[in-house]
Structure 1
Amino acid sequence: MNDNSEAGPHEQGPEVEPLVKREHLNKTWVGLGLALDWIAWRGQSASLELDQEPKDEGDKLKLYRDRENMADEALVSTLADLPPEIAESLVRGEPERDSRKLVPIPSGVWRQTATSDANDAGQPYRLIGTDDDDSWEGAILGVHVAGYRRIQIRSAFILEKWPEHTLDLEPVPLGPAASPAAVRRVIETAIALTDDEMAPISQREMLTLVKRCFPNARRTQVRDICTELMPTPKPGPKGERDPNRQRHIEELGQKLITAQLHN
């Protein structure tokens, strides 16, 4: 961790925020914020010609932010598309629950990470950008589970995927996140983790749990697998509802998200 203790690259520029230059990626690891700046601008001035002519300063700022949002999406989708062992060799960070060490970021995090409100869709993780004062403060924060701070990425990967002297920037199109096999794994895991006092889980509760891992999972998909694995599903609650049941479901959802990260 001490081999990356250089100061951040940001300096005040005359027109817009200063940009990362090629020499800032000479370290083995770079901070998330620095990597995202490079992906967006490749060391070029942010006053370069954009896809459309801005009408005023407010419109110009929006165009800049749109490009930076595209950089966020490009990084997350590229990592989500990689084989797990490769993705986990490229990115590391400090777990929120144990900031004393750097660990590989589980590959499953990327497919479950939102980069903006527009693509949130109930995702359990959110990519958090950095400010100019600390290029090492990039984070992936969890909604229902602990996330990771001080994210670092191998600079060689960044330079290979987003080389200098080009501004091509397209997110990687991802395949369906909720395949039948993946949904089945989540349901089987939920059944295995449910203690006798909680069992059986209703189909409605199971749908809630599956959507924690795969927000786009279909109700019919969950119902069909539940019917196969639990031939006599539990009906809706009758009489007085267990006041602790919702808390147990929430805790089970957190366990499922954690179990899914390496799948």
Structure 2
Amino acid sequence: MEYFKLSNGFLVPKIGMGTNTFGKKDNDFHGEITGDTKELLSSYQNGYRLIDTAIMYRNEAVIGKSIKESKIGRESIIVTSKISARSPFIDSEETIRNYLDQSIEHIGEYVDIYLIHHPSADMETNLNLWRVLESYYDKGLFKVIGVSNFDEEQLKYLMDHARIKPMMNQIESNPNRFNHELIKYSLMHHCLPVAWGPLDPVPNKDVLTNIGSKYHKTWAQVLLRYQIQRGVAVIPKSHNAIRQKENIDIFDFNLTDEDIRKIEG
């Protein structure tokens, strides 16, 4: 595994596993929680050490259960969770703290990375929630704090007013919406961009497949390699153990400048 170093020195795997449908009936986001950990356990076996969840996914306890079942050790699994800057999560500071404490209890001991999942339209609301995250970071209950789905204006406001600068910005980035400018801005301010949904939607699979044929790689491996090569971490999701293994096998080749022009074109 290769890692990105965050502004506070924390090392984050360049690729992680999205889990918004894990541990649920029929792999449905809105499905009943089953507690099934088989896809998580196979992801650990395939080398994943960054696992992405959120309060809204309702499966933080499933993540915690999988870590115990894996026997790998809590310190070896980096877990990201998130809280939205929206009701009912932020109705009061006590409410916020109750949700954060529940995340810690479900995942186990602490949460490695904690993000504001969705910003409020009100900048001060985002800042007030951020200040609570800062207090948990101060206590070592969160190792990293950051944001998700923030645009440049919202990120800048936190950068300008926060005591602790956001260390990560998790955003949509795929061929349908690469988000070049926001990624550039995040990198400029030492805030690691992380791509959610990096493999969907993909309108240019034929271009990616042609590039991959040179390296004996799939279109998905090419696309994930493109992101990490430009300084973006990725969190693809797969319930299939074979796909999980393929997606993480992206550290033995490099795309050329011409490859990148074709991908971005």
Taking structure 1 as the reference length, what is the TM-score of the superposition?
A: 0.25
TM-score in terms of structure 2 length? 0.25
Greater RCO, CA 8 A, separation 6+ = 1
Which of the two has higher C-alpha Rg? Answer: 1
